[in-house]
Amino acid sequence: MPKETKVRVAAVQIAPDLDTLEGTLNRVLAAIAEAAEKGAGLVVFPETFLPWYPYFSFVHPPVLTGAEHLRLYENAVVVPGPVTHAVAAAAKR
């Protein structure tokens, strides 16, 4: 029978920076570091947290969200790229 392994998991619930990808990334990196300090072996975030979840899609008609969609597009995360490399490096620590 395999030995049972326990992993402490941190489910992060923080607000993104709706102005910049860099701001949200800094919050993610800080949350990963804090969770690791508290003994987490796995840190999870909500879907599409980077750059941020397009919550406005549910509260406004599409015709009114052009500017928000453009900002989201301009802050899109390239995979692989600098943002994913930064998160991966933080996860390795």
Q: How confident is the model at residue 35 (pLDDT cuts 50, 70, 90)?
A: very high
**31: in domain:** yes
Report the C-alpha gap between 86 and 50 in whole angstroms.
12
Give the tokens for residue 84. 């994913």
Taking only the tens place, the pLDDT of each residue in 60-78 is 887 888 888 888 889 999 9
Average pLDDT, the chain: 92
Tally of structural domains, the chain: 1
Region of 40 on the Ramachandran plot (φ > 0 left; ψ -120 to 50 alpha; else beta): beta
Q: Residue 54: what pLDDT?
A: 84
**3: in domain:** no
13 alpha carbon, distance to own chain's centre? 10
Give the tokens for residue 55. 């919550």
- What is the span of the domain harbouring residue 63? 9-92
Look at residue 1 and tell me whether its pLDDT is greater than 70: no
Q: How confident is the model at residue 52 (pLDDT cuts 50, 70, 90)?
A: confident
Report the C-alpha gap between 4 and 6 in whole angstroms.
7
**41: in domain:** yes
